[in-house]
Amino acid sequence: MLYTKIRLDFKYGPKNRFYRVVLIKGNPDLFKLGVALLTSLEATFEHCFLITHKGVSYVMAPFMEDPLDGYKYLGKYHLSDLPMNFNLEYDTGDGWDFKCKKYEEKVELKSKKTIILLEGKGQGIWEDNIHSLYALFEGEIDKDFDKEDEEKGIYKPWNFEIDKFGDFDIALDINEINKTLDKDSQANYEELYENEKEYIKQSRVCLDDFHKTDNKRFNILEMVADQIKTKDFVNKSFHKLLEYFNEEAAIKFIARVLINYAFKLDDRADNFTDQGYKKELEKSTKEILHLIENFKL
């Protein structure tokens, strides 16, 4: 079986202080690839991840709800679609960014494992407290310090065990890690992929590539804006929603109802009617207003 060698370096730390070199089997889709790479970094997947390069972002389904220019759904693309250099981002905005390099020459191994760790340093992603890792890297924490400093926001990681803060740099036991890495990666993938499929099913999010020059996604909003002017029942629901939402949010809510109604018709092979649309919109508007009024959403 052919494997691709990939090196991941933590973008904001000292060189060779926190990195991984792995082998990835075959040509997995980018959802599976991201899970495998992050499993090698001890991520717990409490947060989303994305893969980026040169203005393109391969993202999980929730990001496609309100996409930015260049967003693509990562489940539709594969390792072979990535250039030699790309970025892996976890818990977007928190700073868990890794520069990744694919090696051109393939490695042939007789193995069934989807991921194999070759080398690395640094115990792993410090979930929910990157500040402590930065403090360690910048020498603000003594490597022999074994307590926590709540006042300074210095805490030990909860997703892996260290005694002293300097233990972050203890050499990795590559052989021991490889005993469970592939199994852990597959388990993480299966759980996350099921969650992803359920999210897509429930939200009916559009997974098409998004570009600002492509107005397909906004046609539905323009349609609703026109309906507010031409259909009394849409206008009535719109003004009810304005009691709790701004204009943009109210239009988006109606658009979501319209899309869901259309999908339901498609599943039942029924025809679109204003009467059916009105019934669906009035029902959905009543439900959301009831939730807001009773639970102060």
The rounded percent of the chain whose pLDDT value lies above 90 is 72
The predicted-structure confidence for 117-142, as pLDDT tens digits, reads as follows: 999 999 999 999 999 999 999 999 99
Predicted confidence band of residue 236 (pLDDT cuts 50, 70, 90): very high
Tokens 């693309």, residue located: 77
Taking the C-alpha atoms of residue 205 and residue 64, their distance in angstroms, rounded to an integer, is 7
* The pLDDT value given to residue 223: 84
168 pLDDT more than 70: yes
Q: Which two tokens stand for residue 167?
A: 């233990």
Question: What H or E segment, with its residue span, contains residue 117?
Answer: strand 115-121
Q: Residue 30's closest CA among 70, 77, 89, 91?
A: 77
Predicted confidence band of residue 297 (pLDDT cuts 50, 70, 90): very low
Does the 2-122+172-203 domain belong in CATH 3.10.290.30? yes
Beta-bridged to residue 57, according to DSSP, are 52, 71
**Residue 297 or residue 110, greater confidence:** 110
Tokens 């390099």, residue located: 101
Say which range, 53-67, 110-124, 175-189, has the weakest mean pLDDT.
Answer: 53-67
Q: Model's pTM, two decimal places?
A: 0.73
The predicted-structure confidence for 20-42, as pLDDT tens digits, reads as follows: 999 999 999 999 999 999 999 99
* The pLDDT value given to residue 215: 57
What is the residue extent of each domain of the chain? Answer: 2-122+172-203, 129-166, 216-295
Which three-class secondary structure state does DSSP give residue 45?
coil
Predicted confidence band of residue 192 (pLDDT cuts 50, 70, 90): very high
One-letter amino acid for residue 109 of the chain = L
Q: Are 70 and 152 in contact (CB under 8 A)?
A: no
* The pLDDT value given to residue 218: 53
Taking the C-alpha atoms of residue 69 and residue 211, their distance in angstroms, rounded to an integer, is 5
